[in-house]
Structure 1
Amino acid sequence: MLATMGYITPEITGKFPGYLSPSAGLKFADVPNGLAAISKVPAAGWGQILAYMAFCEVSQDQSAGTPAAAGDFGFKVLTASDPEAKKTKLAAELANGRLAMMAIIGMFFQDGLTGSAWGDWANYTASPLRAFENELGVQAPVGFWDPAGFTADGSTENFARRRQTELKHGRISMLATMGYITPEITGKFPGYLSPSAGLKFADVPNGLAAISKVPAAGWGQILAYMAFCEVSQDQSAGTPAAAGDFGFKVLTASDPEAKKTKLAAELANGRLAMMAIIGMFFQDGLTGSAWGDWANYTASPLRAFENELGVQAPVGFWDPAGFTADGSTENFARRRQTELKHGRISMLATMGYITPEITGKFPGYLSPSAGLKFADVPNGLAAISKVPAAGWGQILAYMAFCEVSQDQSAGTPAAAGDFGFKVLTASDPEAKKTKLAAELANGRLAMMAIIGMFFQDGLTGSAWGDWANYTASPLRAFENELGVQAPVGFWDPAGFTADGSAENFARRRQTELKHGRISMLATMGYITPEITGKFPGYLSPSAGLKFADVPNGLAAISKVPAAGWGQILAYMAFCEVSQDQSAGTPAAAGDFGFKVLTASDPEAKKTKLAAELANGRLAMMAIIGMFFQDGLTGSAWGDWANYTASPLRASSQ
């Protein structure tokens, strides 16, 4: 949390005046933000940091059962006289700490990747994702995506034919997806589907099972309509029908840009529907229910070994490739042994990527005989080229030693990953099981991490992905616009800016600023009373309404008196009408005269305003999430004790 604030605060508030180290002539202003700051810390500074860390560790007994073992070091930032309130605050601290751990790793990643604390993607210009980026149907953030290489022949005729097919499949899939969903939500039509056959709409089951109820005449009508669609219009190359225009203009506009936007949206929705309907078919065919009633699927291979070490919520035992379908415990044990080894190697490899970037390299020689210094070895994949033959020999010899120095046959300790050095162990069987499960989880995460590092390293030639070598990314469109955020750059998946209208963009940006500000206030309004408590005294003396009477979250709405709503609406109206907000005015750019975020330096001001936009976007996501959990559970912080039927509780033991 401190590190995250350390990244964010200087970007928003600026830096302290004066000197950080007068003796070294080092000003606060001389220290760059982010990882680059490490290079500016003088030796005495590292000494102070390490000394303070040591003091925190040794100045108090932290053995089991002591206050320090529970994180209480005597300075009570979060405390309360009420045990439940204190428990809530401490739980919030843990949650915020977890969020901050994710945040700081993300910041390290973009900083190391781009050389800027806020991820300056101006160094990332050569992305292959920009190919064919002006083609209809190209979607952010990936741009033109053709992993199967269908367009590699460069034939415009083949492309047009496939696009025509894609449009038809997408439209059918959208109708099919709606056909699955609508009867489940709205129910079925009254009366008869086929009076002559005595078939009611209510008799037709949802999903694939409905196929069995379609009478022969129904199939005839379906096929006849399909044939009519195909033969009633010329669909050869260059005709309107070849581009999906069959004369009934569901999606059209007099403005060519608006029409292009609508047609692109149709393609995107069709692609989504194709994925959706295949998923629905799969769960329907698997379970015999249109909505996938897994109670009917008692023999799922996903349930096998579900009490096995390493099974992780929420998916339980997950084996999409069906490796365990043979039910062989011997094969399972062998694969588990392999997984443990791969996970351990990946954890070491991941640390090997990260550590030199943060701490620097060892002094002296890696190989005195070869005159090879640690400093000569590049980070990442490039290090492979520097390993001398004797080094490869040592690596292979150690790998061989690990494999042959102990019996690893089925049933032995080594078969379960126990090679005699107990890094993770405990006298309590449950604690030991928890630690070993955590090792598996961390190993799996590390396998994903190291593959990602290899990918960015191979793509850019740098262990941290120096995107200065990757110069053609479509993510750079409008990249100098205020509010463009790393890593995606200018991101407009809905195509709002496709019309190129600066006026419309300014209007939407103004709306975004207002929504973001309201959401930041709302988010703080949710969080603050939970941590600090409420104001003393009366919110409305005339109504006898105390601040303490107002519940947190959505329930507070019921306590707002009529005069309160009047004040809220009056203030909103004042904000809207008290200043000219037409295009080109300061208010159109979000400047309403009270400068919370400003600076005399234009670049510093731009950075602060960009940070405001980013925080507003995050707050919009946050407040929607809070509304969701509040509405679901009746508690501002999501008291799941009120939500006893949650599927998220499955296998909670």
Structure 2
Amino acid sequence: MLATMGYITPEITGKFPGYLSPSAGLKFADVPNGLAAISKVPAAGWAQILAYMAFCEVSQEQTPGSAAYAGDFGFKVLTASDPAEKTKKLNAEIANGRLAMMAIIGMFFQDGLTGSAWGDWANYTASPLRAFENELGVQAPVGFWDPAGFTADGSVEDFKRRRATEIKHGRISMLATMGYITPEITGKFPGYLSPSAGLKFADVPNGLAAISKVPAAGWAQILAYMAFCEVSQEQTPGSAAYAGDFGFKVLTASDPAEKTKKLNAEIANGRLAMMAIIGMFFQDGLTGSAWGDWANYTASPLRAFENELGVQAPVGFWDPAGFTADGSVEDFKRRRATEIKHGRISMLATMGYITPEITGKFPGYLSPSAGLKFADVPNGLAAISKVPAAGWAQILAYMAFCEVSQEQTPGSAAYAGDFGFKVLTASDPAEKTKKLNAEIANGRLAMMAIIGMFFQDGLTGSAWGDWANYTASPLRAFENELGVQAPVGFWDPAGFTADGSVEDFKRRRATEIKHGRISMLATMGYITPEITGKFPGYLSPSAGLKFADVPNGLAAISKVPAAGWGQILAYMAFCEVSQEQTPGSAAYAGDFGFKVLTSSDPAEKTKKLNAEIANGRLAMMAIIGMFFQDGLTGSAWGDWANYTASPLRAESA
């Protein structure tokens, strides 16, 4: 919590005036925010930090059972005379601590990735993801997405050929997906599919099993129709049909923008359907049911070897590719040995990526004879270019030594991953099993991590994925306006600003600011009475209504008389009509004259106004969440006291 506030506070409030260290000539203003501040801490500073940490640890008795052991060091920031209130506050402390642990790790990540405490994505310019970004099929928020690099050569011909293929596959997949779904939901046609063969519609099973019911003549009809679709129109490059237009305009509009939107939606839905139909085929082939009836999975091949190391809750023994489907113990053990080795190598490789970025590199020479310093070796894939032939020979020799220095025939200790140096062991068999399981799990994670690092390194030319050249993104439209927040920049996944209309943007921005302000007031209206209590005395002496009589949250609506609603509506109308709000006016941009957020420094003023929009967005989310929990539980704070049968309350004691 302290670390998170240390990140946030200097960004919002600014820094102290004057010198942090007069003797070193170091001003507070000279210390950057975030991880970069580490470089400014002198040795004496680290000594003070460590000494204070040591003091906090040793200045009080912290043996099990002591007050300090439970977190009570005597300075009661969170306390109350009411035990229930005290418990509530202490629970809140733990919850806020958990949130802060997530927050600070996220801040470290974006800081390390972007070099800015707030993750400055402002340099995202020349990404390869932007090729063909004005074509159909480019979907917000990712833009033109081609991780496999199919369009890296920039060939328009290849792109259009693949696009034509994609549209066809998407259409077929949408029909196939509907063919799976419709009979399950609506049932089947009455009567006969083939009177001559005595085959009723009801006799045809759903899914892949239906294939067994198709006679030779049926396959001939299917193939003939496919051939007709292919040859009945001109599909040479440049033709209308080549681009997917076969003349029956299901998706069209007189408005070009609307037509583009519909055609984009077709491609998106086709992509989704391609994923869906493959998933349906997979579960159908695996379970023998169009909808994947898992009820009969008593002897599933996925359960083979489920008592072996590496079986992780909640999925159990997971083998979707069916490598163990033949039940071969020999093959399983060979693959397990390979997995353990690959996992160990990947853990070392992942640490090899991370460590130089965090700790820096060794001083001196890596190879005095070659004049090669450790500092000369770049991180990541680029380091490969610095490895001489003798280095590769050493690497290969060490790999060979690891392989041949021990007996690894099936059944041997080394075959199962035990090479004698027991890093992970315990006298307790259960604890040892737990540690060995953890090794396999961490190895799997590292295999994913190192591949991801290779990908971002190869894509960006930097071990940490330097996105500094990403500049001309469509996500940067209106990016100099208020409300653009790092790290995402100008974020408009729904494409509201895709038409580039400044007028529409400003109208929506004015609406957003108003909604945000109302939501901030509403959120405070929920929170304040819960924390500070209510005013004493009467809200309405004539009606005998005390402030204490008005419940918090949605229930308060029932206490508002007609005259109260009249006052509310009148005030809303006054706010709307008391100032000129035509486009271009100050009030249209949210400036109604009472400058709560202002500054003589333009940059500081912009920062504060940005903060207002960000807080308004947060408040819009917050108030909807409060309405939801209030409506669900009948309490402004979501009183879960009545949720006695909730599965979320298991082990709640």
TM range (shorter): 0.7 to 0.9
Q: In the TM superposition, what is the alpha-carbon distance from 1:502 to its structure 2 partner?
A: 1.0
Report the residue type matching 1:17 in the other structure. Answer: P
The 10-residue stretch of structure 1 (599-608 or 38-47) with the greater mean CA deviation from structure 2: 599-608
Q: SS of the counterpart of 2:325?
A: coil
**Are 2:601 and 1:604 equivalent residues in the alignment?**
no
Match of 1:354 in 2: 354
Tell whether the 8 Å contact from 2:233 to 2:246 is kept in structure 1 after alignment. yes
Q: In the TM superposition, what is the alpha-carbon distance from 1:277 to its structure 2 partner?
A: 3.0
**Are 2:279 and 1:279 equivalent residues in the alignment?**
yes
- Cα 1:161/1:373, change in 2 over 3 Å: closer
The 10-residue stretch of structure 1 (233-242 or 247-256) with the greater mean CA deviation from structure 2: 233-242
Deviations 1:387-422 (A, max 9, x none): 688877876777667666666666666555555665
- Cα 1:215/1:526, change in 2 over 3 Å: farther
CA distance in 2, matches of 1:573, 1:218: 69
- Say which of 560, 566, 580 aligns to 1:563: 560
Q: In the TM superposition, what is the alpha-carbon distance from 1:501 to its structure 2 partner?
A: 0.8
Q: In the TM superposition, what is the alpha-carbon distance from 1:77 to its structure 2 partner?
A: 5.1
- Cα 1:377/1:204, change in 2 over 3 Å: closer
Report the residue type matching 2:23 in the other structure. Answer: S
Q: How does 1:197-216 map to 2 (within 5 A)?
A: none
Larger-Rg structure: 2
Q: In the TM superposition, what is the alpha-carbon distance from 1:319 to its structure 2 partner?
A: 2.7
Match of 1:149 in 2: 150
- Say which of 186, 189, 214 aligns to 1:188: 186
Report the residue type matching 1:302 in the other structure. Answer: L
Match of 1:115 in 2: 115
The 10-residue stretch of structure 1 (207-216 or 115-124) with the greater mean CA deviation from structure 2: 207-216
Structure 1 vs Structure 2: percent identity of aligned residues? 79
CA distance in 1, matches of 2:125, 2:632: 44
Where relative contact order (Cα < 8 A, 6+ residues apart) is larger, the structure is 1
- Tell me the TM-score normalized by structure 2: 0.76
Q: SS of the counterpart of 2:560?
A: helix
CA distance in 1, matches of 2:6, 2:385: 37
Match of 2:494 in 1: 494
The 10-residue stretch of structure 1 (172-181 or 598-607) with the greater mean CA deviation from structure 2: 172-181
CA distance in 1, matches of 2:519, 2:306: 42
Match of 1:51 in 2: 51
Q: In the TM superposition, what is the alpha-carbon distance from 1:128 to its structure 2 partner?
A: 0.9
Across the aligned residues of Structure 1 and Structure 2, the Cα RMSD in angstroms comes to 5.2
The 10-residue stretch of structure 1 (319-328 or 195-204) with the greater mean CA deviation from structure 2: 195-204
Tell whether the 8 Å contact from 1:478 to 1:490 is kept in structure 2 after alignment. yes
Report the residue type matching 1:466 in the other structure. Answer: D
The 10-residue stretch of structure 1 (217-226 or 322-331) with the greater mean CA deviation from structure 2: 217-226
CA distance in 1, matches of 2:311, 2:80: 38
Tell whether the 8 Å contact from 2:35 to 2:111 is kept in structure 1 after alignment. yes
- Cα 1:514/1:348, change in 2 over 3 Å: farther
- Cα 1:459/1:270, change in 2 over 3 Å: closer
- Cα 1:544/1:404, change in 2 over 3 Å: farther
Report the residue type matching 2:263 in the other structure. Answer: L
Report the residue type matching 2:48 in the other structure. Answer: Q
What are the ranges of 5 or more consecutive residues in structure 2 without an aligned counterpart? none
Q: SS of the counterpart of 1:20?
A: strand
Q: In the TM superposition, what is the alpha-carbon distance from 1:474 to its structure 2 partner?
A: 6.1
Q: In the TM superposition, what is the alpha-carbon distance from 1:283 to its structure 2 partner?
A: 2.5
Q: SS of the counterpart of 2:20?
A: strand
- Cα 1:118/1:267, change in 2 over 3 Å: same
- Cα 1:315/1:482, change in 2 over 3 Å: farther
- Cα 1:348/1:255, change in 2 over 3 Å: same
Tell whether the 8 Å contact from 1:460 to 1:470 is kept in structure 2 after alignment. no
Q: In the TM superposition, what is the alpha-carbon distance from 1:32 to its structure 2 partner?
A: 1.6
CA distance in 1, matches of 2:87, 2:337: 41
Q: In the TM superposition, what is the alpha-carbon distance from 1:229 to its structure 2 partner?
A: 7.4
Match of 1:553 in 2: none
Report the residue type matching 1:561 in the other structure. Answer: S
Tell whether the 8 Å contact from 1:286 to 1:297 is kept in structure 2 after alignment. no
Match of 2:125 in 1: 125
- Cα 1:151/1:232, change in 2 over 3 Å: farther
Q: In the TM superposition, what is the alpha-carbon distance from 1:220 to its structure 2 partner?
A: 11
Q: SS of the counterpart of 1:327?
A: coil
CA distance in 2, matches of 1:63, 1:329: 50
CA distance in 1, matches of 2:321, 2:173: 27
Deviations 1:285-340 (A, max 9, x none): 43344443321344443333344443334433333343333434454445444444
Q: In the TM superposition, what is the alpha-carbon distance from 1:544 to its structure 2 partner?
A: 7.6
Tell whether the 8 Å contact from 2:302 to 2:317 is kept in structure 1 after alignment. yes
Report the residue type matching 1:257 in the other structure. Answer: A
- Cα 1:231/1:440, change in 2 over 3 Å: closer
Tell whether the 8 Å contact from 1:343 to 1:447 is kept in structure 2 after alignment. yes
**Are 2:7 and 1:2 equivalent residues in the alignment?**
no
What are the ranges of 5 or more consecutive residues in structure 1 without an aligned counterpart? 551-555
Deviations 1:123-169 (A, max 9, x none): 3423111111111222231415384738969364x755654554454
Tell whether the 8 Å contact from 1:188 to 1:201 is kept in structure 2 after alignment. no
Match of 1:584 in 2: 584
The 10-residue stretch of structure 1 (166-175 or 498-507) with the greater mean CA deviation from structure 2: 166-175
Tell whether the 8 Å contact from 2:127 to 2:470 is kept in structure 1 after alignment. yes
CA distance in 2, matches of 1:372, 1:32: 33
Match of 1:104 in 2: 104
The 10-residue stretch of structure 1 (440-449 or 76-85) with the greater mean CA deviation from structure 2: 76-85
Tell whether the 8 Å contact from 2:236 to 2:242 is kept in structure 1 after alignment. yes
Q: In the TM superposition, what is the alpha-carbon distance from 1:513 to its structure 2 partner?
A: 4.5
Match of 1:445 in 2: 445
CA distance in 1, matches of 2:501, 2:147: 30
The 10-residue stretch of structure 1 (483-492 or 392-401) with the greater mean CA deviation from structure 2: 392-401
- Cα 1:169/1:360, change in 2 over 3 Å: closer
Q: SS of the counterpart of 2:186?
A: coil
The 10-residue stretch of structure 1 (495-504 or 235-244) with the greater mean CA deviation from structure 2: 235-244
- Cα 1:129/1:637, change in 2 over 3 Å: farther
Tell whether the 8 Å contact from 2:550 to 2:556 is kept in structure 1 after alignment. no
Q: How does 1:10-409 map to 2 (within 5 A)?
A: 10-62=10-62, 68=68, 71-75=71-75, 96-140=96-140, 141-143=142-144, 145=146, 147=148, 149=150, 154=155, 156=157, 163-174=163-174, 176-177=176-177, 188=186, 192=190, 243-245=243-245, 250-362=250-362, 374-383=374-383
Deviations 1:534-590 (A, max 9, x none): 76989989678969975xxxxx54564251894877776666555554433344444
CA distance in 2, matches of 1:202, 1:573: 63
Tell whether the 8 Å contact from 2:310 to 2:437 is kept in structure 1 after alignment. yes
Tell whether the 8 Å contact from 2:301 to 2:327 is kept in structure 1 after alignment. no
The 10-residue stretch of structure 1 (446-455 or 415-424) with the greater mean CA deviation from structure 2: 415-424
- Cα 1:284/1:336, change in 2 over 3 Å: closer
CA distance in 2, matches of 1:147, 1:111: 28
- Cα 1:191/1:354, change in 2 over 3 Å: closer
